[in-house]
Each structure stands twice: as structure tokens, then as C-alpha cells.
Amino acid sequence: MYYIGIMSGTSLDGIDLVLAGFTPQPRIISSLLQPFPAELKQQLQQLCQPGDNEIELLGLAEQQLAYSYAAGVQLLLSQAGIEAAAIAAIGCHGQTIRHRPDARLPFSYQIGDMHKLAMLCQIPVIADFRRKDIAYGGQGAPLVPAFHDAVFATADARRAVVNIGGIANVTLLVPDQPVSGFDTGPGNALLDNWVMQCLAKDYDMDGEFCQQGQLIPALLAAMLADPYFSRPAPKSTGREYFNLNWLQQFQPEQYLPADVQRTLCRLTAHTIADSLRTSQPQQVFICGGGAHNPVLMADLALLFPACQISSTAKLGVAPDWVEALAFAWLAWAYQHQVPGNLPEVTGASKACVLGVAYKP
């Protein structure tokens, strides 16, 4: 039996889908990126911040998400030539619209009508992966370190896996030591938000805008002083915190726009490199959209010259599909009663089988 993983992350760049097998090792059979309809993307951007008429907007967005997820599943199956009956389950992350692990009453909210998705696809759906970890005192994030440990760890080297999506997170895989991991801070979110404001583009393709700018040391130092970066793990964050409102406190309008973009890129690289220094990994593997930004990759190499930095493609999984594969694995883990969280990463009081099953 096969599994499907669906991931739509904080960058809002689209829906990643993979069709995978897990006998014995994870193997991607087919993959695709399903773009968000323009109206849905706008609704999701609105829902990430408090606003008017949120419940009505949320209800409509949940339905549209289910239809978009289902359309992606149908296309994926058609592309692979596999029938729905051959799929054991879909692991669907849903779309995070609010992540408040440090609130007085912590919560994390991922939307998408999973009953509708199961009905449309006629495949069981496993979803709602974060809230059980939070119920046991955890951050509910990051969840990918358990998958990284299962698939990428080796007894021969100290490894780090860095996912650079809208938010960046790192997993440290050191032989004979507990796995550690946390959100380092902004990944592509601020870069995307700034280029949208300045150029009305969804993202800075190949870092072209970034390459036109010069680093602003004073701005970088001011941003790095944010208390989040010096907080000890476990910790997690989201675009609810690192967004244009956060950036505005540093008065970016006083600088050239391309210089701000260049400095935001260095901020992402700097906070990732800082997170690696204690464990001193021998190998660093990058996944997520940030792996395609040559400026960001060059900054990481400059700031962390202790080892070679490459993408997860070197480990057999293309960087664009690691997170979607992780949620296919979480669906597999749910059905096989394998814990999907790591308490040493999230801060939960116990290891838990994560997810809720939605049957067609």
C-alpha cells in the first residue's frame, strides 16, 4: 500500500504532494506542486493576521482548501497511474493560520475540511498532527525531526537537516545523543513579503533582487537583537510573528529596498548558522524553497565554513519534497502506532502517536 503526503506551508507558495511507499525505506513514486487559486491564497494571507469577519472567511477557505487538496491528489494519482484503492491513507498537514505555542493557553490551528477531503478522494485522511503534542505541553512544532531521524540519521557522522520554508527549522542528528531541533526564525517569509511589497512578485526568483543589494550591518544587528533568537529550545514560531509588521519596527523605508532584501537574506542565514554552532555538524543538508536561493546558500557557506553544505538531494530526497514526504510518513506512523513527536524537540511530556483519522 502507498501513502500520500500533502504539505502547504507558511510560504503559501502552493500545495506540495508526494505519493510514497515505505517498504522498507521511504520512496517517492510521484510528486507535484499544486498552485493555490489566487482567491484562496489571498484569503489565507488574511487569515494569518487578526481581522474582520474571520469565521466566515475561515469557513469558506476550509472548503476551498479541501477541493484544492483533492484536485492535487487526483492529478498525482493520474500522473502515477495508480488507483485510489491502492492508497492506505493521506497525511495532510492542513494550512496553519495561527500558531501560538507560548500563549497563556497555547494552541496551533491548521485548517482544511478533512472530512470533505476524505469524501472527495475516497481515501482515509490522517490530519491534525500538532494539537496532541501541545496537549501534552509541547510546542506542536517542529514535527519533521522525528522523520529526519528515521530517514536521514547515520551512525557515521554528525548531521544537520535544515528546512527553509516560510519559517526555517533545524534538526540536529548526532550519533549517541538525543535528537534536537527547533524553529530558528524566518526562512523565506520575510524575503517573500518584502519582495511582494516592493515589486509585486510572489518571491525573489534565484535571489535576483537580493543580489542587487548591499548588506546593512546596523539593520542586521537590530533584527538579531529580537529576543526570539536568544531563547533556548524548545521553541517554534510562525509568520504570525515574523511578518511585515515585525519588520516595520526597524523602519526599512529609510534604506534602499534591495539592501533590505539582502539584509533579510543574511538574517535567515545568520540565525540558521548560529543554531548549528553548538553541535558542530560535519554535514549540513538543506531542504525547502530556500535551497534554490543561491545568495542564501552562499551566505550559509560563508557563515558556517566548518563543513560542506548541500541539499537533501544528496541523501536521495529532492529538497522540494522532504516536508510532504514527512507528512506521508506521519500518516504511516499513525497507522502503525509509531510516535510522531520527539519530546526532547517539542517539549511535550511524552512521545505520542499524532493525528486524527477521517474516513470516507
Q: So what's the pLDDT on residue 13?
A: 81
Q: So what's the pLDDT on residue 278?
A: 86
HEC profile of 46-73: HHCCCCCCHHHHHHHHHHHHHHHHHHHH
Query: Could you say which of 1.10.10.10, 3.30.420.40, 3.20.20.105, 3.30.70.100 is the CATH number of the domain covering 144-315?
Result: 3.30.420.40
Q: Are 2-141+339-358 and 144-315 in the same CATH fold?
A: yes
Residue with cell 520575510: 190
Cis peptide preceding 24, ω within 30 of 0? yes
Q: So what's the pLDDT on residue 328?
A: 98
Q: So what's the pLDDT on residue 150?
A: 93
Question: Domain-by-domain residue ranges, the chain?
Answer: 2-141+339-358, 144-315
- Run means of pLDDT, 10 residues per run, the chain, 360 residues: 93 92 92 94 89 93 97 98 98 95 95 98 98 98 95 95 96 96 96 96 94 98 98 94 96 98 98 93 96 96 91 96 97 97 97 98
Residues in the annotated binding site for ATP: 9-16
Q: So what's the pLDDT on residue 308?
A: 86
216 and 255 Cβ atoms separated by less than 8 Å: yes
Residues in the annotated binding site: 9-16
Q: Give kind and range of the element (H or E) at residue 195.
A: helix 189-199
Q: So what's the pLDDT on residue 209?
A: 98
Second-level CATH architecture of 2-141+339-358? 2-Layer Sandwich (3.30)
